[in-house]
Amino acid sequence: MKFIIAISAMLSLATALPIRTSVDIQETGGAYTCEQNQNYLGGCISDSSNCPSTGVSLAQCQSLCDTTTGCNAIVTNGKSGGSCYLKTKQGTVSATSDGTVSCLRSTCASGYTIVIGDEPNWGHVMAGGSKKDTSSSGACGSMCDAQDKCLSYEWYPTRQVCNLNIVAQPSDPNRHEDSVYCIKKTTAPTAHPTFKPSTRTRVLPGWCREWRHQNTRQSREMHGTATYFTGTSVTQKSCIDRCDESPRCHQAVFEESGPWGPQCWLGNRKSSISPKGSRNCSNAPASRPRVPCVDFCYNKEGWD
C-alpha cells in the first residue's frame, strides 16, 4: 500500500514516517508527493555527484532537487548516513522493504495551487482540452489561463500531456500516474462579500435567462460547497447574500413559492438579458402541492 507522507519528515529507518492525506504546499520550490518502500527507477540527472549525494536528510534532498535544473523526482534511503538520488523522472516503480522513500516533485504555474487528485476517464476535461506535447506545467497553466471555462489542469511530465478541466476540485482524491493537478487560486463562496452594490436594477420577477447552474454534487466538486439551498429558512435576502459572497456567482434564482417550497440557486454565468417569467412547475410530482412557482432573478451586475 502506498502512503503520502509529510515533506518535513526526516529520513530514518528506525522511525516511521508520518502519513499525510494531501500534498504539502510550498510557496517556493516544489511540492512533493512521497511514498515509503517504493523505489523510482527513472534516470539520474547527469551530474554523478548527485547520484547519490550522501549524508543528507529527506528534507535536504528535496531542497537539492529544488535547486537542480531538470530534477523531477528523488529517491532517498538510509545508506551512507542518508543517500539522495536526483532523478529526471519517476520511471518504473519497484517495491522495496528497506525504508526507501521516493518522491515526485510537482510545481504549478503562477496563480495556481497544487493538490492531489484526478479526473477519471476525462470526466471533467473540457471539449478539446487534452493537449499533447506540453513540455511544462507552466505551459499547461498558460493554456488554462486562455480558457474562461478552465478552472484547473492536470499535467503529466512523463507523457507531456495537459488536460484542461472545468472543475475547481478533483473528482477523485487519488493521483493518476505522475500527474500534477493544479487549481486556479480562486475560492467560492468566501467569508466576506466580494461585490459592492450598485444603483442598477438587480432583482426582477422571473427565472434568470442565459442561466448556468451546477447541481449540488457538481457544485461541491467545483467550489467545496453547495450552490443550491432549500427550506423555510431560505429567503430572497439570504439567497442574494450568498451570491454576493461568492466571486463565481453572477446570477441567483430565488423561488419564493412552489411545489418544493422556498429554494435558492446560485449561477456562474453573466447575462444582460432580463427574465421573462417564472418557470413552469405543472409537472411537479403528485405528492407535491399543486401551486405555481413564483421566481425572482438576482443579477449581480444588474440591468440598465
Note the pLDDT of residue 224. Answer: 61
Task: Please report which confidence band the pLDDT of residue 75 belongs to, taking 50, 70 and 90 as the band edges.
Answer: very high
Specify the range with the lowest mean pLDDT, choosing from 27-31, 96-100, 163-167, 235-239.
27-31
pLDDT of residue 144: 92
What is the rounded CA–CA span in Å between residue 13 and residue 32?
20
Asked if 143 and 75 count as a contact pair (C-beta separation under 8 A), the reply is: no
> Which three cell numbers, joined as nine digits, stand for 277?
417569467
Give this prediction's pTM. 0.42
- 267 pLDDT above the threshold of 90: no
All domains of the chain, ordered by start, with CATH? 4-106 (3.50.4), 112-184 (3.50.4.10), 201-303 (3.50.4)
Residue 67 in this model has a pLDDT that exceeds 60: yes
Contact present, 234 and 243 (Cβ < 8 Å): no
Across 90-94, 148-152, 171-175, least confident range: 171-175
Question: Above 60 in pLDDT, residue 186?
Answer: no
pLDDT at 79 over 50: yes
What distance in Å separates the CA atoms of residue 197 and residue 300, rounded to the nearest whole number? 8
Residue range 103-130: average pLDDT? 82
Cα–Cα distance list, 62 to 34, 37, 167, 275 (Å): 11, 17, 30, 56
Write down the pLDDT at residue 122: 72
Q: What is the mean pLDDT of residues 70-84?
A: 86
Quick one: average pLDDT of 54-64? 87
Q: What is the pLDDT of residue 218?
A: 61
